[in-house]
């Protein structure tokens, strides 16, 4: 008796749930290069933040762990798009000069801000290399962003985001990151929402 062919089987419910659940706690976005001569500051701060978060038990997707300077633009966009769909929350680093290129709509960092602000994911903006006493509220952030991107300024005003000022003092940075971890853990596991698919 010949066996009947049923064709390829689709994924079962358990496999679908595994695909839609977050596989990283957070993703860190930052400006790779700046025009003010401090080319590596964003990369260095992102590495420091990732190291502290990982020591706290947070799984972090960081592009510099996955890509090199030789990675093409299309590969960068594809890698970030796929990773973004598998994270629970977003940390965006912001320093003076990081937004200068937002006037160019195909700027990758502009796109990172845009997908973050359009998603349903919690977004944390960590500003650095500014006076620690200067704390921004979302309305202040929107006002500052409006000089570079009206789209991003409008998106900031339309949703709830958290803004913190950080320093390079590890103790201060640690306290801020523990606070972020505490708040995001209380919110529980977040699954990928349909509007998070790019």
* pLDDT score, position 173: 85
* pLDDT score, position 2: 43
Residue 196 in any domain: the answer is no
Helix (H) or strand (E) segment spanning residue 90: strand 87-94
Residue 194 in any domain: the answer is no
* pLDDT score, position 46: 93
Residue 9 in any domain: the answer is no
Residue 2 in any domain: the answer is no
Residue 34 in any domain: the answer is yes
Residue 77 in any domain: the answer is yes
What is the model's pTM?
A: 0.78
DSSP class per residue in 11-71: PPHHHHHHHHB-SEEEEEE--S--SSS-TTHHHHHHHHHHHHHHHTT--EE-HHHH--TT-
Residue 179 in any domain: the answer is yes
Question: Whole domain around residue 64: which residue ranges?
Answer: 15-186
- ∠ CA 123-126-129, rounded to 5°: 160
* pLDDT score, position 131: 64
Per-residue pLDDT of the chain (198 residues), as tens digits, is: 444 333 333 333 343 334 345 589 999 999 877 665 556 788 888 999 999 999 999 999 998 888 877 888 899 899 999 999 999 999 999 888 888 888 887 899 999 999 999 999 999 999 887 765 566 678 888 888 999 999 999 999 998 888 888 877 787 888 989 999 988 876 544 443 434 434
CA distances from residue 153 to 2, 7, 63, 103, 113 in whole angstroms, order as listed: 65, 51, 25, 12, 10
CATH number of 168's domain: 3.40.50.10140
* pLDDT score, position 154: 94
Chain CA centroid to CA 180, Å:
13
* pLDDT score, position 81: 93
Query: For the chain, how many structural domains are there in total?
Result: 1
* pLDDT score, position 105: 77
Residue 193 in any domain: the answer is no
CA distances from residue 183 to 123, 165, 187, 196 in whole angstroms, order as listed: 12, 17, 7, 21
Question: In terms of residues, how long is the chain?
Answer: 198
* pLDDT score, position 15: 35
Task: Please return the burial class of 195, using the count of CB atoms within 10 Å of its CB with bins 0-12, 13-18 and 19+.
Answer: exposed
């Amino acid at each position: 008796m010949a066996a009947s062919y049923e064709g390829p089987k689709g994924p079962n419910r358990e496999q679908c749930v595994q695909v839609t659940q977050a596989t990283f706690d957070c993703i860190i976005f930052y400006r790779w290069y700046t025009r003010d001569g401090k080319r590596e500051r964003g990369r260095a701060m992102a590495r420091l933040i990732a190291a502290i978060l990982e020591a706290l038990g947070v799984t972090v997707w960081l592009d510099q762990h996955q890509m090199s300077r030789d990675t093409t633009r299309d590969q960068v966009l594809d890698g970030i798009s796929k990773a973004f769909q598998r994270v629970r929350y977003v940390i965006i680093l912001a320093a003076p000069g990081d937004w200068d290129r937002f006037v160019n709509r195909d700027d990758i960092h502009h796109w990172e801000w845009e997908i973050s602000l359009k998603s349903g994911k919690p977004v944390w903006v960590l500003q650095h290399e500014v006076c620690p006493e200067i704390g921004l509220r979302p309305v202040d952030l929107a006002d500052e962003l409006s000089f570079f991107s009206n789209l991003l300024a409008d998106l900031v005003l339309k949703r709830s985001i958290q803004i913190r000022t950080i320093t390079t003092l590890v103790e201060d940075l640690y306290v801020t990151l523990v606070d972020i971890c505490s708040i995001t853990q209380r919110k529980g596991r977040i699954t990928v929402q349909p509007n998070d698919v790019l």
